Amino acid sequence: MIHLHQLTKRFVKNGSPALDSISVEVLPGRITGLVGPDGAGKTTLLRILAGLLEPTQGTVSAFGRDVVRETLSVRRILGYMPQRFGLYEDLSVMENLSLYAELQGVPQSEQEKRFAGLLRFTGLEAFTSRLAKRLSGGMKQKLGLACALVKMPKLLLLDEPGVGVDPISRRELWRMVRELVTEEVIVIWSTAYLDEAELCDDVLLLNEGKMLFWGKPTELTSRLQNRVVQVRGIRGQERRSKLTELLREPDVMDGVLQGSALRLVLKEGASLPTLDSGTLSRVAPRFEDGFIEILGGMPKGESVLARQMRTVPETCDAVVAARNLCKRFGTFTAVHDNNFEIRRGEIFGLLGPNGAGKSTTFKMLCGLLRPTSGEGFIAGHNLLKSASKARSRLGYMAQKFSLYGDLTVKQNLSFFAGTYGLYFKRRHAAVNNMLEMFDMERYAATSAGLLPLGFKQRLSLACALMHEPDVLFLDEPTSGVDPLTRREFWGHINALVEKGVTVLVTTHFMDEAEYCDRISLIYHGETIAEGTPDALKQQVGTEEMPSPTLEDAFIELIRRSEVHR
């Protein structure tokens, strides 16, 4: 087993602990989920278990070995997959495997057989000569897992392996890891996806270094029995304002959009809310509901964006339009003949597996990539003929943190204000406004690269909104962000949509995709399905699966498309 006793870690003497007196026993033959908001201490705990950090106080042992005094012995039984892609991008799949085998001391006589098994296990057999940087997000994670398993470990540490990975690849990763679990193996899986946490055998929930919960996921969800309700029958255009209204109720602890429905979590002992329209029904609680409750509920109050951002005037019928968009890179077609239109004040989701062509479509509609054929329009402006006018009407939040890490928060805001044509008094006012709206005054002089992940996301959104755009492009905006921060983020987005802002978003969080008014599902660069979240779910409903989730619909529609290719 792994035994933690009063484990404490401080990075600054007399400062707040990153881990505060954690005591648990983790048993073999089980997958233990490590869950918590940004800065909770998850990565710190994994690094201590891996022998990369020493605890300030307390003891930690793995399979009878003291991790501090017997670090080398522990590393011989350890497999560690770090949070960020830690392999060598300029080496091929096979070269990475060979390097890790040498580092782990796997004998040459065993390597060929071991590699063959790992490649078959991860489905990378056909990609051995491909450079790691050319792999899709899901394939990179599979390669990272393969390298961690080069010397079959008794302790496998996975630091958020599903971040930035599409639902199909996440399910495959989960299946592969579940197959590894034996009575002699411990798997610790750190995750920001709470549906993954629900699948774990045990869960350790951390917040600000403190342990808030330790046990089976069902022990947490059972606390909310009969306290989760679903509201149906609200007209599509009213559901966002109705959610905002219900969240003001003192007895409502949490609330999210779920397609055409609203999902509410009530406080203990609360009565059902009174509705002017719609119907209420009780539904089963999820682990995420328990997570939000144990952290004190979602942030309350109206989004400051709702008060201060301008209302976007009525313009053309299609604020964003893609017409026969096509992009080829040599002989490879990344996007083929894509067509869609997005109306004012609508959230349109562009979903698909890693490598489907989502980001390429985004870049063409932002004017960052010139299409091979076809046209894109923003607020009536043709991106090929009036690119600068089109760009002036949109804000873009990139998939990866793309701001300047060596500049301070205020310097980043000032720089982006200038790129959007704001100068002198307008720039100064816009910068101060964003610092206030996103509660970043205390970080104004902090280098952007040193911000916590949630505040990096706030800064990215603030920079995209400096010029109060008509259109907002969000490319996987909350990847790796905890549920509380995502709640806050989508509170802002819903407020912007109420003001008439049009949103195009890509995401791998299917519960996040439920906020979309319509979804286009693309695969191999082509649109394979389009409709509301509920309509997509209805397409895949069967007797065996009468109430499919959006993730079920995503996977089944991709499977059907693959069958007909």
Does 107 lie in the same domain as 15?
yes
Does 276 lie in the same domain as 341?
no
Q: How far is CA 564 from CA 555, 557, 560, 561, in A?
A: 15, 11, 6, 5
Residue 543 has a pLDDT of 85
Residue 75's CB: how many other CB atoms inside 10 A? Answer: 18
Q: At 217, which amino acid appears? A: P
Q: How far is CA 467 from CA 215, 302, 374, in A?
A: 48, 21, 28
What is the 3-class SS of 333-387, one letter each residue?
EEEEEEEEEECCCCEEEEECCCCCCHHHHHHHHCCCCCCCEEEEEECCEECCCCH
Does 322 lie in the same domain as 250?
no
Task: Read off the pLDDT of residues 193-242 as tens digits, 9 standing for 90 and up.
Answer: 788 888 899 999 998 899 999 999 999 999 999 999 999 988 767 888 88
Does 6 lie in the same domain as 29?
yes
User: CA-based angle 81:85:87, to the nearest 5?
Assistant: 85
Does 371 lie in the same domain as 249?
no
Task: Read off the pLDDT of residues 180-192 as tens digits, 9 standing for 90 and up.
Answer: 888 889 999 998 7
Domain membership flag for residue 22? yes
Percent of the chain with pLDDT over 70: 98
Domain end residue (candidates: 163, 187, 220): 220
Domain membership flag for residue 461? no
Residue 88 has a pLDDT of 87
3-state secondary structure of 320: strand
Residue 274 has a pLDDT of 82
Question: How many Å apart are CA 500 and CA 479, to the nearest integer?
Answer: 25
Residue 151 has pLDDT above 80, yes or no: yes
Domain end residue (candidates: 220, 244, 265): 220
Could you say which DSSP state residue 408 is in? B
Task: Read off the pLDDT of residues 288-344 as tens digits, 9 standing for 90 and up.
Answer: 899 888 888 887 766 777 677 778 877 767 899 999 999 999 888 999 999 999 999
Does 282 lie in the same domain as 245?
yes
Residue 271's CB: how many other CB atoms inside 10 A? Answer: 7
Does 322 lie in the same domain as 286?
no
- Which residue has tokens 């990609």? 127
Residue 444 has pLDDT above 90, yes or no: yes
Question: How many Å apart are CA 526 and CA 518, to the nearest integer?
Answer: 17
3-state secondary structure of 402: coil
Residue 400 has a pLDDT of 65
Domain membership flag for residue 426? no
Comparing 86 with 201, the larger pLDDT belongs to 201
Residue 67 has pLDDT above 90, yes or no: yes
Does 72 lie in the same domain as 149?
yes
Residue 401 has pLDDT above 70, yes or no: no
283: exposed, middle or buried (Cβ count in 10 Å: 0-12, 13-18, 19+): middle
Domain membership flag for residue 348? yes
User: Percent helix, strand and coil across the chain, each rounded to 5?
Assistant: 35, 25, 40
Average pLDDT over residues 520-543: 92
Does 195 lie in the same domain as 290?
no
Residue 95 has pLDDT above 90, yes or no: yes
Contact between 8 and 57 under an 8 Å Cβ cutoff? The reply is: yes
Average pLDDT over residues 167-182: 84
Residue 156 has pLDDT above 70, yes or no: yes
Average pLDDT over residues 269-289: 88
3-state secondary structure of 208: coil
Domain membership flag for residue 464? no
Where residue 399 falls among pLDDT bands split at 50, 70, 90? low
Residue 323 has a pLDDT of 94
3-state secondary structure of 187: strand
Phi then psi dihedrals of residue 350, to 5 deg: -110, 105
- Beta partners for 490? none
User: Which residues make Cβ contacts (< 8 Å) with residue 310, sequence separation at least 6?
Assistant: 468, 499
Residue 172, domain extent: 2-220
Does 211 lie in the same domain as 228?
no
In total, how many domains does the chain have?
Answer: 3
Comparing 169 with 100, the larger pLDDT belongs to 100
Domain membership flag for residue 76? yes
Residue 278, Ramachandran bin (φ over 0: left; ψ between -120 and 50: alpha; else beta): left
Mean pLDDT, the chain, rounded, equals 88
Question: How many Å apart are CA 485 and CA 283, to the nearest integer?
Answer: 24
Does 209 lie in the same domain as 75?
yes
Task: Read off the pLDDT of residues 5-62 as tens digits, 9 standing for 90 and up.
Answer: 999 999 988 888 999 999 999 999 999 999 987 778 899 999 999 999 999 999 999 9
Task: Read off the pLDDT of residues 475-524 as tens digits, 9 standing for 90 and up.
Answer: 888 876 777 778 888 888 888 898 899 999 988 888 889 999 999 999 98
Domain membership flag for residue 41? yes
Q: What is the CATH number of the domain that holds 155?
A: 3.40.50.300
Domain membership flag for residue 458? no
Residue 531 has pLDDT above 90, yes or no: yes
b/e code 227-253 from CB counts within 10 Å (16+ = b): bbbebeebeeeebbebbbebbeeeebb
Domain end residue (candidates: 301, 326, 344): 301
Does 78 lie in the same domain as 179?
yes
Pick the range with the lowest mean pLDDT from 150-159, 390-399, 521-530: 390-399
